[in-house]
Structures are given as C-alpha cells and as structure tokens.
Amino acid sequence: MANVKIIIDGQKITVPNNISILEAAKKLDIEIPALCYDPNLDVVAACRLCVVEIEGSNKLETSCSTRVRDGMVIHTKSDLVVKTRKDILQLLLDSHPNDCLTCQKAGDCYLQKYAYEYGLKFRDHSGSMRPQLLDTSSPYILKDNAKCILCGKCVRTCSQVSDRMVLSFSERGYSTKIIADFDQTLEESSCVSCNRCVTVCPVGALVDKRAMGKIRAWDGASKVIKCKSCQYGCEFEIKSKGTVNVAVVAKPPANGRPLCLKGRLTTELLYVDKPEAPYRKINGQFIETNWTKMLGIEDILERIDKINAEKEREGKE
Ligand code: SF4
Ligand code: SF4
Ligand code: SF4
C-alpha cells in the first residue's frame, strides 16, 4: 500500500492511498460532519453533509466516498462548503418535528449537534412535514418515522446479520420511510429486538424504550461493561443516577459483535436496581414474562433443583 501526500485545511499529511478524505481528516483531528457514515457499514454517501472542496475540481465531493490522491489540496470549511452544509441541514430541520425538549435523543443527537454548530433553527412554515408514523408496538424500541432523516444506517446494520434483514426503505420522494418487513409494526415483524439499529441511528427516530424517561444523555454517569452471556462480549453502558443504576443501553456492535436481546436483558438483570419486567415475542405478540423464562434458564434451574434434592436424599452436601 503506497502513501500519498495531501493538504487538508492548510495542514500537510502523509496517509495511505486507500483511505477516504474523511478518514484522513480525522487523523488531523478535523471533524467533518456526517449523518450516514459509519466506519463499520458500507459507504453510501446519502446525506451529502460531508462535502468538501478539492482544488482543481469543479464540484464538491463527498469526503466519505472520495479516496485521497497524491497532491490533493482539500478545504473542509470553505464558504461554499459551509453554505452547502447549512442548506442540507436546514432542509432536514424544515421537515422535522421540533421536539428536542422532550426527545430521548436530545444531547446525543447529530442533527441537534450540527444545527447548533452551524447556527440553524427549526422554522415555522406551512409546507409539508414528514408524516407522523409512530410505532409504539415494541416494549424495547420506539420507532418514530417523523424524526427519521433517511440515512439508512439502520437498514445497513440490520442486514449485516444474514438472517435478519428486517428493515428496508419503502415508497419514494417525500413519502420515503423505513419499514419493518412488509410495512409491519415491530411487534408483528421478524425483528428480534437486538437494538443494533437503535445504536446507530443518529437521531431520535429509533430509541431504546427501556431507558426512556429514566435518564437523559447529559444526566448521571455511565460505565461500559462487557456482556458475559457469550464469547462475543458485546459492550453495554450502565446508566446511573447517584448510586442507583437506572438503565442498560447497547453500544454499537463493532468488530462483528452481533448484539442480542438476551445479552442486554441479562446485563439489565445483573446491574439495574429496579429492572422492568421482560417481554417475549410469541407468534407476533409481545407477552410480559418472568426472568427465568426470558433467559431460558427455567429447565436449568429445575435440573439443578432435582440434582440438589437427590444429593439431599443420599445424605450428601
Ligand atoms: S431527533 Fe434530534 S433534532 Fe429531532 S427532536 Fe430529537 S433531539 Fe431534536
Ligand atoms: S432491533 Fe435488530 S432485528 Fe430489529 S430491526 Fe433493529 S437491527 Fe433489525
Ligand atoms: S431510522 Fe434512524 S438510522 Fe434509520 S434511516 Fe432513519 S435516521 Fe437513519
């Protein structure tokens, strides 16, 4: 792999020739805003927010999908770049509900963060807004299509696990939306509540329902722990207020870690002070259940009881 010499915002750097401008900029601590980019997913250059100006090119290029070339001179904050990003963000805000005061994602939302950084606001207008399509059917995930910015990260991350592929785009233009299976609710669909999609959603269109109303992004403390349920060791954050652990939320499934509901609930049971009742999906319906059934340990506990009873009968400890 050869190296190339490039200049980004006046700073010279030598980088491998197989990386993108966005990745090269990161090496210089230059943050380029992006809503659809994720280092663990295919690059689709859908949101266009990461555009940069390259000297000698007559159009802006998306930095996530453009590889570095020797001698490139790149500007990530030129007037044209900033104006273009502001236009893209304003269009998103113009069809987005003004719900930051109560949105569970506030403080951890990329649309909110970039709107702040680029000095943009929601605007009053009489034009169309994205339709209100709230899916409250799952006890684990709240899906709010009105807040969706159609970055497609949820679709790409769900389909990374071969037997899932639950989510996809449906319809066209302004009516485009993310659907589960054949436009079913999350409850009716084949969704397994692994929360991969929730961890990658950059806005409040998919949120962890079990953390809702308990803690906000800037509240309390959080500690990262590894799941003990299997060898993948997915990471979870234990969210706490004072000495009380109030919720467990999944971290993004990096390095091939699949994430699963069982791992998340086991972690919840082990760490959360007052865990909510778990729910199992049976024939397309969520049913409240108990922890032994949910974690599939009923048979194991029964077997242990029998062995202990036999030992007692035999007079052993
Ligand atoms: S998704 Fe982000 S921008 Fe939208 S209401 Fe929630 S915090 Fe605000
Ligand atoms: S929770 Fe998991 S299975 Fe369900 S839609 Fe999201 S990524 Fe797919
Ligand atoms: S639900 Fe979230 S991750 Fe999926 S397309 Fe919409 S904004 Fe992107």
Q: Where do the structural domains in the chain lie, given as residue ranges?
A: 3-92, 95-276
Answer positive or negative: Cα dihedral of 73, 77, 80, 84: positive
Q: Name the closest-CA residue to atom 6, ligand 3.
A: 148
Low-confidence ranges of the chain (pLDDT < 70): 316-317
For domain 95-276, which architecture applies?
A: 2-Layer Sandwich (3.30)
C-alpha span between 13 and 5 (Å, rounded) = 6
What's the gap in Å between 103 CA and the centre of ligand 3?
A: 15
Atom of ligand 1 nearest to the CA of 100: 8
pLDDT of residue 316: 64
Class of the 3-92 domain?
A: alpha beta
End-to-end Cα, the chain, rounded Å: 65
What's the gap in Å between 313 CA and the centre of ligand 2?
A: 48
pLDDT of residue 317: 58
C-alpha span between 264 and 266 (Å, rounded) = 6
Q: Name the closest-CA residue to atom 2, ligand 3.
A: 201
What's the gap in Å between 14 CA and the centre of ligand 2?
A: 40
By the 8 A CB rule, do 11 and 76 touch? no
pLDDT of residue 303: 87
Site to substitute for ligand 1 among 100, 116, 142, most atoms within 8 A of C-beta: 100
Q: Hey, what are 260's tokens?
A: 């699963």
pLDDT of residue 162: 80
Q: Does residue 252 have its Cβ closer than 6 Å to ligand 3? A: no
What's the gap in Å between 40 CA and the centre of ligand 1?
A: 24
Q: Does residue 188 have its Cβ closer than 6 Å to ligand 1? A: no
DSSP string spanning 127-177? S------EE---SSEEEEGGG-----HHHHHHTTSTTT--EEEES-GGG-E
C-alpha span between 30 and 14 (Å, rounded) = 15
Q: Does residue 186 have its Cβ closer than 6 Å to ligand 3? A: no
Atom of ligand 3 nearest to the CA of 147: 7
